[in-house]
């Protein structure tokens, strides 16, 4: 169906009139002149007196469009900075945790070593659970030293 059939005769005339006015105004010349009192005037009709034609440039994008683009750029930059900071902080946390784990492990190994050395030096050792302070026998001390040596070899030798 044609435009005329869809819109009807009157609507076609209205649409064509609006289109002609819009295209006519887009190509209209704008004049600038100064009257006898020194007041500057602008208009789309040439005055009786001398006037110059003004070249009208297309309007720049509206502030809201520029602001939206700027907001997008700022948000993208902020997202990049935030992502970078989060990755850096996660990496630092992992490093601190690794250092903490390594230090705890070294402290545990040091405690095992010191305990073993005390047992090897001899003396009186008591069971931790004994309220009566019964001393460990020589066989119990040898067994404890062997147990500590195994723990040291398994957990501390390669570290």
Q: How many CA atoms lie within 13 A of 150 on its CB side?
A: 6
66 vs 15, more confident:
66
Q: Nearest 5°: phi and psi at 145? A: -65, -45
Closest CA to 141 of 127, 153, 155, 157: 127
pLDDT per residue as tens digits for the range 80-130: 888 888 998 999 999 989 888 889 999 999 999 999 998 899 877 777 765
Give me the residues paired with residue 31 across strands.
Answer: 43, 53
Confidence of residue 1 (pLDDT cuts 50, 70, 90): very low
pLDDT of residue 133: 73
Confidence of residue 149 (pLDDT cuts 50, 70, 90): very high
pLDDT of residue 146: 94
Q: Is the pLDDT of residue 6 over 70?
A: no
Q: Nearest 5°: phi and psi at 53? A: -85, 135
In angstroms, the CA 95 to CA 22 distance is 67
How many CB atoms are located within 10 Å of the residue 12 CB?
15
pLDDT of residue 40: 84
**Taking a C-beta distance cutoff of 8 angstroms, is the pair 41, 47 a contact?**
yes
Question: What pTM was estimated for this model as a whole?
Answer: 0.41
The SS3 assignment for 36 reads: coil
pLDDT of residue 158: 61
Number of residues that this document lists for the chain = 159
pLDDT per residue as tens digits for the range 33-67: 888 888 888 787 778 778 787 777 766 666 676 77
Neighbour order of strands in the sheet with 30-34: 40-43, 30-34, 52-54
CA dihedral 117, 121, 124, 127 (to 10 degrees): 20
């Amino acid at each position: 169906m044609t435009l005329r059939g869809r819109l009807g005769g009157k609507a076609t005339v209205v649409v064509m009139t609006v289109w002609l006015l819009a295209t006519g105004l887009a190509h209209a010349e704008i004049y600038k002149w100064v009257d006898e009192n020194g007041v500057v005037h602008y208009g789309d009709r040439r005055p009786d007196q001398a006037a110059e034609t003004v070249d009208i440039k297309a309007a720049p994008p509206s502030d809201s469009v520029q602001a939206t683009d700027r907001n997008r750029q700022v948000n993208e930059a902020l997202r990049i900075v935030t992502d970078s900071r989060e990755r850096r902080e996660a990496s630092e946390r992992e490093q601190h945790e690794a250092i903490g784990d390594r230090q705890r492990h070294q402290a545990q190994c040091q405690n095992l070593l010191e305990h073993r050395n005390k047992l090897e030096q001899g003396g009186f050792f008591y069971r931790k659970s004994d309220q009566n302070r019964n001393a460990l026998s020589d066989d119990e001390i040898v067994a404890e030293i062997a147990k500590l040596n195994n723990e040291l070899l398994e957990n501390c030798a390669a570290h």
